[in-house]
Amino acid sequence: MMVGVVATLAVILFGWLASFIFKPGRAGPSVLWDVYFKKTDLDKNSEPG
């Protein structure tokens, strides 16, 4: 069980560190926090895509 947990943390940690070293070519189009900060309206514009 712990192998999966450590592997998951390793991907996030190494991915984050490596992204610092190789300066971001492009920022991700969106991350989950955007839902809070941009206050996605839950009922308007509900068509995906």
Distance, CA of 43 to CA of 28 (rounded, Å): 25
Smallest gap from Cβ 41 to other proteins, in A, equals 8
Smallest gap from Cβ 10 to other proteins, in A, equals 4
Site for other proteins contains 48 (CB under 8 A):
yes
Collapse the DSSP code of 39 into the 3-class scheme (helix H, G, I; strand E, B; otherwise coil) and give the result: coil
Q: Tell me the site size for other proteins, rule CB under 8 A.
A: 42
DSSP secondary structure code for residue 48 in this structure: -
Q: Which spans of this chain sit near other proteins (rule: CB under 8 A)? A: 1-20, 22, 24-36, 40-43, 45-46, 48-49
